Structure 1
Amino acid sequence: MVRPEGIFIERHMTVEELDKQIKLEKNATLLKRLYFIKYRYGELSVEESIQRIGSSKQTGYTWQERWNQDGYDGLKPRYSGGRRSKLADKQKEQLKIMLTKRDDWTTEAARELIFKEFDVKYSLKQVRVILHNFGMKLAKPYSHDYRRPDDAEEQLKKKSRRWMMTQ
């Protein structure tokens, strides 16, 4: 015989509303949590409900506590944002200004600039993330032939015209 659940589940929405929300939910993490609440509405204990989801018992108690306090919004994932950036916001603004003065930066050159100006070391991958966040696009550098004359297009047109006349 199962012992009755000691923690009450708040009914912030009806079973029908909960089923509708489950059908509409696109976030897999939130969907899993909504199924847990549905099992709790169905008179299953926290332990039985969380076993069906495949998470730990403590996680179930945390989800239920958040549901009881805030309802649906309490189940939404709360991301802390990760590690703080090595560059302050003001430094990032300065970097963006420096980078926009030229349009032919390589990732390696941008990394060297960051180290030279701010004494901060980043991996190439993180430099690409920073550049992407600035709205800069990564592109393969266009190679330039050092032997090419400055008026190459004009010379080509002249030679093309002469060739066309001889034909």
Structure 2
Amino acid sequence: MSGDRRKEIVRHLSEDDLDRLLAESTDEKLTERLIFVKRLYKGATLEDAADDVGRSSATGTRWARRWNRGGLGLLMPNFGGGRPPKLGEEQQQRLLELLREGQPWKKQEIQHLINEEFDVEFHPAHLTTFLEKLGLSYAIPRTKRPSRP
């Protein structure tokens, strides 16, 4: 199939407005979508415009459709930012207090403490990431040697 897939694009904003928004943008998602729309304004095909921002042609088609329906308001993602954390702010503070009281901790002990205290289970691989986000780090405990102080 070798058709020219140029998409009629509704000009909700002028090119000058697009350029101004691009210059002011600090949001990576907004910037990539504005570049995509600008490329379409300049006459690029959907595939080329999507490829320029590292996206598939299917994503480009979806973005163009949303832009045509409602401009920038519909083009930006509308998700809420992901799944809420397993432990709320107060629970995280309580965990930090508990961990400070009983140092040093092993990862398995921390996992058990979280399960017992908050009835929450973390995958062992995620526990490290979670603890780092709390500003904690860990070291592997060394056995005491009589020859070393």
Name the TM-score, length of structure 1 as normaliser: 0.60
CA distance in 2, matches of 1:34, 1:141: 51
**Number of corresponding residues:** 136
Q: For residues 60-102 of structure 1, give each alpha carbon's deviation from its aligned partner in whole angstroms, at most 9, with x where no partner exists.
A: 2224556x345xxx76666633222222332222111101223
CA distance in 2, matches of 1:4, 1:26: 25
When residues 32 and 49 of structure 1 are mapped into structure 2, their CA distance, relative to the original with a 3 A threshold, is farther
Give the letter for the 1:118 counterpart.
F
CA distance in 1, matches of 2:80, 2:18: 33
CA distance in 2, matches of 1:61, 1:105: 53
Larger radius of gyration: 1
Aligned partners of 2:111 and 2:122 also within 8 Å: yes
CA distance in 1, matches of 2:141, 2:18: 57
Q: What fraction of aligned residue pairs are identical, expressed as a percent?
A: 24
Partner of 1:124: 124
When residues 131 and 81 of structure 1 are mapped into structure 2, their CA distance, relative to the original with a 3 A threshold, is same
Give the letter for the 1:127 counterpart.
L
Which ranges of structure 2 fall in alignment gaps of 5 or more residues?
51-55
Partner of 1:60: 64
Which ranges of structure 1 fall in alignment gaps of 5 or more residues?
154-167
When residues 77 and 111 of structure 1 are mapped into structure 2, their CA distance, relative to the original with a 3 A threshold, is same
Partner of 2:53: none
Aligned partners of 1:131 and 1:137 also within 8 Å: yes
1:132-143 equivalences under 5 Å are 132-143=132-143
Give the letter for the 1:34 counterpart.
L
Name the TM-score, length of structure 2 as normaliser: 0.66
Aligned partners of 2:18 and 2:38 also within 8 Å: no
Cα RMSD over matched residues?
3.8
Partner of 2:46: 50
Provide the secondary structure at the position in 2 that maps to 1:85.
Answer: coil
Q: For residues 121-141 of structure 1, give each alpha carbon's deviation from its aligned partner in whole angstroms, at most 9, with x where no partner exists.
A: 111122212211110112222
